[in-house]
Structure 1
Amino acid sequence: MMTKSALRRTYLNKRKNLDPGSIQQLTQAISANLTRFLRNKSFTTVHIFLTQARNSEVDTLKIIDALRDAFSNLRVAAPFVVPGTRDMLHFSISPGSKFIPNAWQIPEPDPAAELQVLPEEIDVVIIPMLAFDKQGFRVGYGGGFYDHFLPHCRPETWKIGLSFFGPVDKIADLDNFDVPMNACITPDGIFQW
């Protein structure tokens, strides 16, 4: 069993060793599995994080394009971190949306140009993560933004992670603030709890 900090180090290194071509291939496989997973679900609004390129994340702009192609009338929301807090606001984004990098160089929607989406309006949350375990818990970057946000969503909101890698057996230092996922999508398949 590894701790969150050890998993963060390990999986950040594993991701940084992926070349851009591999990231695109793995993203395409994740996108296909996510689309297949959502095919028979009822949803209108999907919240999805925007990729922080320096951390070799799944290319969520490609995921967004695939979801828009697969599901008509889909509303996509992206997070905006309220500076100096752990709070996030959520704004609708469209193919023409312009993004502004925040302090961590994560692209965010412009709150002055986009419509706000409330947490209770969100049907599916696509969550950033570094690693996950076989019980459905994830290790994020350690800021607690999603653990703070997810309890504000409806209980039936789907919480879905995207990972280039499969699960570890168990995360050693879970606490009461850790919110389990309903599913995690990898290039090789779908894990559901």
Structure 2
Amino acid sequence: MEKKKIRTLGLANLNWLYRNEELKAAKEQQIIQQLFADEYWLAAKTIGVVKALPFEFDTLPVIGKAWSEGKQVTVPKVENGWMGFHQITPESLFVRSSFGVEEPAEKQETALAEIDLLIVPGVVFTVEGFRVGFGGGYYDRVLENFKGNSCSLVFSEQIQECWEAEAFDQQINKLFIK
């Protein structure tokens, strides 16, 4: 199946789950418990994570837990066709991007080499860790040069094996699935 069709299917599944709030919340809780117990999380001093859209995996508890454990948190910001990660604090201000995602208003870019754990969003995943995102290729370009650990927080509804990864698709190291 082509990526455009698989993305449409994935978005439909995410929206179905979003409308089933209790199920979504229960799955999120089980997935973040897996994440917080994992060596990737425990060893990380700096994490990269997106501020999610409402129908995506809610990353606010992840951000809050990171701060409570003294970890630095960076979130993506797209400028001039490139995505960089910027450190945020509880006091940070955000602006809504053209993609609808909240990005930090101020620039405090963190070098990729300083990020220990990158939590990568996606619409559809294979169990091997390949993903279909929203179609911009931003994460694939970042992952090409990223040397730290990568993971994704994945609902079972996002797992689809009916598509082939392309040469430029970057594999995620670990998926936490429920």
Q: TM-score, normalised by structure 1?
A: 0.82
Deviation of the 1:21 alpha carbon: 3.5
Q: How many residues align?
A: 175
2:45 aligns with 44
2:88 aligns with 93
Structure 1 residues 40 and 12: CA distance shift in structure 2, 3 A: closer
Mapped pair 1:135 → 2:128:
yes
- d(CA) in 2 for partners of 1:93 and 1:60? 14
Q: SS of the residue aligned with 1:67?
A: helix
1:17 aligns with 16
Structure 1 residues 7 and 82: CA distance shift in structure 2, 3 A: same
| Moved >4 Å (runs of 4+) | none
CA contact (8 A) 1:135 1:170 kept: no
Deviation of the 1:41 alpha carbon: 4.6
2:29 aligns with 28
CA contact (8 A) 2:77 2:84 kept: yes
Greater helix share, 1 or 2? 2
CA contact (8 A) 1:35 1:67 kept: no
- d(CA) in 2 for partners of 1:75 and 1:7? 34
- d(CA) in 2 for partners of 1:23 and 1:98? 27
Deviation of the 1:108 alpha carbon: 0.4
- What percentage of aligned pairs have identical amino acids? 26
| Counterpart amino acid of residue 119 in structure 2 | I
Q: TM-score, normalised by structure 2?
A: 0.88
Deviation of the 1:40 alpha carbon: 7.2
After superposition, the C-alpha distances for 1:128-182 in whole angstroms (9 at most, x for unaligned) are 101111322111111100011112222xx1111111126333532x222111011
- RMSD (CA atoms): 1.9
Deviation of the 1:82 alpha carbon: 0.4
- Unpaired runs of at least 5, structure 2: none
After superposition, the C-alpha distances for 1:13-38 in whole angstroms (9 at most, x for unaligned) are 01111223333322222211111124
Q: SS of the residue aligned with 1:58?
A: coil
| Counterpart amino acid of residue 105 in structure 1 | G
